[in-house]
Amino acid sequence: PQIVRLADYRPSDFLIETVDLDVNLHPTATRVTARLSIRPNPDGRERAALVLDGEDLKLVSAAIDGGAIEADALDVSPERLTLANPPRRPFELTIVTEIDPTANTRLMGLYRSNGAYTTQCEAEGFRRITYFLDRPDVLAVYTTRVEGPKDETPVLLSNGNLAETGEAGDGRHFAVWHDPHPKPSYLFALVAGDLGVVEDRFVTASGRDVALKVFVEHGREDRATYAMDAIKRSMRWDEEAFGREYDLDVFMVVAVSHFNMGAMENKGLNVFNDKYVLASPETATDGDYANIEAIIAHEYFHNWTGNRITCRDWFQLCLKEGLTVFRDQEFTSDTRSRPVKRIQDVRNLRAAQFAEDSGPLAHPVRPQAYAEINNFYTPTVYEKGAEVIRMLKVLIGPEAFKAGMDLYFDRHDGQACTIEQFVACFAEVSGRDLDQFMLWYHQAGTPSVEVTTAYDAATKTFTIEATQRVPPTPGQPTKAPAVIPMVVGLVGPDGRDLPLVVGGRKADAVVALTSATTRVTFEGLEQRPVASLFRNFSAPVKLSADLTDDDYLFLAANDPDPFNRWQAGQTVALRNLVARVAALRTGGATPEEPRIADAVGRAFAPGETDHAFAAQVAALPSEGDVAREIGDDVDPDAIHAARRALKGAIAASLADEIAAAYARLQDTGHYSPDAASAGRRALKVSALDYLAADGGAEGVALAKALFDGATNMTDRIMALQVLSLHAAPARDAALDAFAASYGSDPLLMDKWLLIQASAPLPDTLDRVRELTRSRYFDFGNPNRVRSLVGAFGANPTQFNRADGAGYAFVAETARALDARNPQVAARLLGAFKTWRALEPGRRAKAEDALRTLSRASGLSADVGDIVRRALG
Ligand code: B3K
Ligand code: ZN
């Protein structure tokens, strides 16, 4: 495979200043005429050839300044167009290509989805439309003329502002769009089809009147109003929180049903997976509403972090993604509950990113090399990338952080930048040396921090000693200590924070761990305090501290920091679960810890009014959390059994309290997706989950009653999920009833597929195989594939069946899908990211499946890269 390295970066030898595109739509033979104004780059090499990227392209003609190019001056293949000796002055290159959008099953470049034309160009899809310098540091002003039949494509869209429309004869019409903001090719978009639209407007802080349009399939307009509302709230928030205004006359979102990922931030024309646009109380869950709000915000925020300031090369991907995730997390925190958002983000970070970071696919937030860039749109680049920015803010403080952001926007607007340029802005405004901080971008692996504490009654001092270690990862055997911001609190016996005093002076709560071992001694403490470490999860590390269960239970009840109040309860439960797994595997006595139930009981107490937070407290660590805590020789069945037993023990000891809470939390009035109402429903289903934990008739009957009587999709899906955990007849009846009601709505049937693929039951794999042949499944639609096969790959016990059949199924499915859609196929193989941590029997089976796949012929670059690294 060809490896691209950061160290090999050099500026483009040529620049493209303007792009005039004429796209003449046809289902199987679309003609693209590109007029490119090109000039040599003063920063490039002198006598360089002009090499344009292509993929699957058919050249019709090429001309320079309107004149034909001599045959021997031009070298063309589907993958490349080379001019060995182009003019050494500005010139115009006109290229005509022909492409087949219907045959495009990879969903990159121009393709059709339900009859509509759409594009996806990030990272390297523009080269599937025309030959181009398809790299993010070539910024051009685009004018796009789209022509198509009036009946099939009444709507013709591209980036920027609408400049002209008109008749093209023969039942065809056209629209010309002009985008005044220079942009890289990956932000180009075109959409054409027969679509419904919801319209609104927004007036920016400085008075620009912006037309807002959300395009959806006809008949779905009423499901687009929540997304529209989220757009307006995002626009206002970015003005208020970051001082960023929108910069075109129109902002458009299009929902399409075939999409390789969540959404795409094309300039002025965001294209979305319809799953993240469409919502109504009858069809969407609270989770769907929250995702729509967050993803609408994320793509909108890219307008500044990604589009106005873009990436110099794809190694800098976290420059736009980590930063934009950070921004959307802040938006949600301001809009909903900050502590609950933080807890959810950390749960996700641990589940996805810590898992990735601990296995063969680990890579730095800024990778140094790649074989296939599409495989680097990862939780490490996105979520750890956001954590790095959050740490920066903790380290330099909120004022310096804001000043640094302002400087970045100011200095780099219109440029394609690097991480170094970004971090330099913060070093400059804060006066801090951020060289060591850069290690967060260079070093892969989750640092572990071991903390020991000591109280000295004689001197009334409390010492915290923290030792950090960054584990080896592929290609990085040894690591240097990073700068880790550890936010600490000292909680006194009354549950309040004690003053932090070091060296006779009031000390900052942020302790920067800069060497292998860092020690800090706090003074003036009459009694031993309980240390609250890494408050609000101030760094993405694994903490192990010498605190006792008593300490953690105290923090779970008292810590003024809500994140650590939640974390403390999780830590005690996690310790107990690990001990239970060990006992199960060695036949030892079950370690009981009845005080876990006391902590969970607080979540269901009548006085508890923050239901969303309580639902987080009530939820035990996941099976994945336990697996990562154990680290190696992982037995997923033992983990499942241990967790089930703990849940059962809690349910038994709190039976009355939880039943009372369940009754109290019933929905009364009409559905609203707001955070408080959603929190109430989340706590309600958590109660139901405990009540049904033993799979007994009573609990199952409650779940069935909720399912039958549900007046919104959240309740219905949550009830179905609880039922699906148990092989009771009620489960199949409910699944059938659901299909009978919603069989014609693919997004709803995706939930139905996902629930079945996630069930921890021995017949799950057979069911999944059967479902791949059902009329609700379609290998050509990424949402279907992810809902069924992707969800199965995330099923802890059934993907990891001891007989290896789960591994073989996912590997074979990825292989079969590869020819059609390599990106989605490669994603499915993410299921193998922790295979090396398994117990020897399963590990051998997983390795077998990967080796068999690696021997298959004709694997795509996408799949080949993952398999090679997974086996690495
Ligand atoms: N930038 C896109 C992701 C593109 C993925 C290409 N394989 C969406 C986002 O992160 O906002
Ligand atoms: Zn993004």
Q: Strand 461-469 vs strand 4-5: parallel, antiparallel, or unpaired?
A: unpaired
Helix, strand or coil for residue 37?
Answer: strand
d(CA 317, ligand 2 centre) in Å: 9
| Atom nearest to 306 CA in ligand 1 | 1
Q: Among candidates 97, 86, 87, 89, which has minimal Cα distance to 50? A: 86
**Ligand 1 contacts CB of residue 265 (under 6 A):** yes
Q: Is the pLDDT of residue 636 over 80?
A: yes
Is residue 270 within 8 Å of residue 262, measured between CB atoms? no
Ligand nearest to the CA of residue 386, numbered in listed order: 2
Token couple for 720: 């179905």
**Ligand 1 contacts CB of residue 370 (under 6 A):** no
Q: Among candidates 327, 333, 341, which has minimal Cα distance to 239? A: 327
Same domain, 332 and 417: yes
**Ligand 1 contacts CB of residue 862 (under 6 A):** no
Q: Is 720 among the domain residues? A: no
Whole-number pLDDT of residue 659:
98
Radius of gyration of the chain (CA): 28
Q: Is the pLDDT of residue 17 over 80?
A: yes
Q: What is the pLDDT of residues 454-489, one digit of tens each?
A: 999 999 999 999 999 999 999 999 999 999 999 999
Question: Pocket of ligand 1, candidates 106, 107, 119, 122: which has the most ligand atoms within 8 Å of its Cβ, to mutate?
Answer: 122
Q: Is the pLDDT of residue 775 over 80?
A: yes
pTM as predicted? 0.99
Same domain, 420 and 461: no
Same domain, 492 and 347: no
Same domain, 452 and 517: yes
d(CA 141, ligand 2 centre) in Å: 22
| Atom nearest to 122 CA in ligand 1 | 6
Q: Is 216 among the domain residues? A: no
Whole-number pLDDT of residue 59:
98
Q: Is 399 among the domain residues? A: yes
Helix, strand or coil for residue 235?
Answer: helix
**Alpha-carbon dihedral 364, 368, 374, 377, rounded to 10 degrees:** 20
Whole-number pLDDT of residue 867:
98
- Name the residue at shortest CA distance from atom 4 of ligand 1: 122
Q: Is the pLDDT of residue 623 over 90?
A: yes
Q: Is 284 among the domain residues? A: no
| Atom nearest to 263 CA in ligand 1 | 8
Burial of 668 (0-12, 13-18, 19+ CB in 10 A): exposed
Helix, strand or coil for residue 412?
Answer: helix
Same domain, 177 and 98: yes
Going by C-beta distance under 8 Å and a sequence separation of 6 or more, which residues neighbour residue 324?
A: 298, 301, 302, 305, 306
Catalytic pick from 124, 299, 330, 629?
A: 299
- Between the alpha carbon of residue 177 and those of residues 79, 162, 267, 622, the distances in Å are 28, 5, 12, 49
Q: Is 587 among the domain residues? A: no
Give the CATH number of the domain where residue 137 resides. Answer: 2.60.40.1730
* pLDDT more than 70, % of the chain: 100
Same domain, 347 and 476: no
Q: Is 848 among the domain residues? A: yes
Question: Pocket of ligand 1, candidates 121, 187, 261: which has the most ligand atoms within 8 Å of its Cβ, to mutate?
Answer: 261
Q: How far apart are the first and last CA of the chain?
A: 14
Average pLDDT over residues 425-430: 98
d(CA 324, ligand 2 centre) in Å: 6
Residue with tokens 């900050």: 338
Same domain, 375 and 458: no
Whole-number pLDDT of residue 755:
98
How many whole angstroms separate alpha carbon 228 and alpha carbon 242? 21
Whole-number pLDDT of residue 362:
98
Going by C-beta distance under 8 Å and a sequence separation of 6 or more, which residues neighbour residue 757?
A: 764, 767, 768, 771, 787, 788, 789, 791, 792, 795
Q: Is the pLDDT of residue 1 over 90?
A: no
Task: Determine whether 299 is an active site residue.
Answer: yes
Q: What is the pLDDT of residues 723-732, one digit of tens each?
A: 999 888 999 9
d(CA 236, ligand 1 centre) in Å: 23
Q: Is the pLDDT of residue 573 over 90?
A: yes
Domain encompassing residue 766: 743-872
Token couple for 63: 């001309």
Same domain, 416 and 517: no
Whole-number pLDDT of residue 689:
97
Q: Is 679 among the domain residues? A: no
Cis peptide before 692 (omega within 30 of 0): no
How many whole angstroms separate alpha carbon 253 and alpha carbon 251? 7
Cα 48 off chain centre by: 40
- Between the alpha carbon of residue 456 and those of residues 499, 520, 524, 525, 528, the distances in Å are 17, 13, 11, 9, 8
How many whole angstroms separate alpha carbon 321 and alpha carbon 183? 17
Whole-number pLDDT of residue 66:
96
> At 753, is the pLDDT very low, low, confident or very high (cuts 50, 70, 90)?
very high
| Domain endpoint, select from 147, 174, 194 | 194
| Domain endpoint, select from 442, 461, 477 | 442
Name the domain count of the chain: 4
Same domain, 460 and 419: no
Q: Strand 501-502 vs strand 505-506: parallel, antiparallel, or unpaired?
A: antiparallel
> At 71, is the pLDDT very low, low, confident or very high (cuts 50, 70, 90)?
confident
Chain mean pLDDT for the chain: 98
Average pLDDT over residues 653-681: 94
Kindly state the DSSP code that residue 384 receives in the 8-state scheme. Answer: I
Q: Is the pLDDT of residue 97 over 80?
A: yes
Whole-number pLDDT of residue 668:
72
- Between the alpha carbon of residue 338 and those of residues 58, 233, 533, 562, 621, the distances in Å are 52, 17, 19, 10, 20
Tell me which of 1 and 403 has the higher pLDDT.
Answer: 403
Find the helix or strand (DSSP H, E) in which 338 lies: helix 338-348
> At 176, is the pLDDT very low, low, confident or very high (cuts 50, 70, 90)?
very high
| Domain endpoint, select from 507, 523, 539 | 539
Is residue 369 within 8 Å of residue 351, measured between CB atoms? no
Same domain, 369 and 460: no
Q: What is the pLDDT of residues 586-615, one digit of tens each?
A: 999 999 999 999 999 999 999 999 999 999
How many whole angstroms separate alpha carbon 365 and alpha carbon 387? 10
Give the CATH number of the domain where residue 823 resides. Answer: 1.25.50.10
d(CA 765, ligand 1 centre) in Å: 31
**Ligand 1 contacts CB of residue 321 (under 6 A):** yes
**Ligand 1 contacts CB of residue 301 (under 6 A):** no
Give the CATH number of the domain where residue 514 resides. Answer: 2.60.40.1840
Q: Is the pLDDT of residue 8 over 80?
A: yes
Same domain, 437 and 493: no
Question: Pocket of ligand 1, candidates 377, 821, 862: which has the most ligand atoms within 8 Å of its Cβ, to mutate?
Answer: 377
Give the CATH number of the domain where residue 375 resides. Answer: 1.10.390.10
Same domain, 436 and 516: no
Question: So what's the ipTM on this one?
Answer: 0.99
**Alpha-carbon dihedral 154, 174, 780, 821, rounded to 10 degrees:** -160
Q: How many residues does the chain have?
A: 872
Q: What is the pLDDT of residues 323-370, one digit of tens each?
A: 999 999 999 999 999 999 999 999 999 999 999 999 999 999 999 999
Q: Among candidates 407, 386, 408, 247, which has minimal Cα distance to 317? A: 386
Q: Is 869 among the domain residues? A: yes
* pLDDT more than 90, % of the chain: 99
Q: What is the pLDDT of residues 219-246, one digit of tens each?
A: 999 999 999 999 999 999 999 999 999 9
d(CA 123, ligand 1 centre) in Å: 8
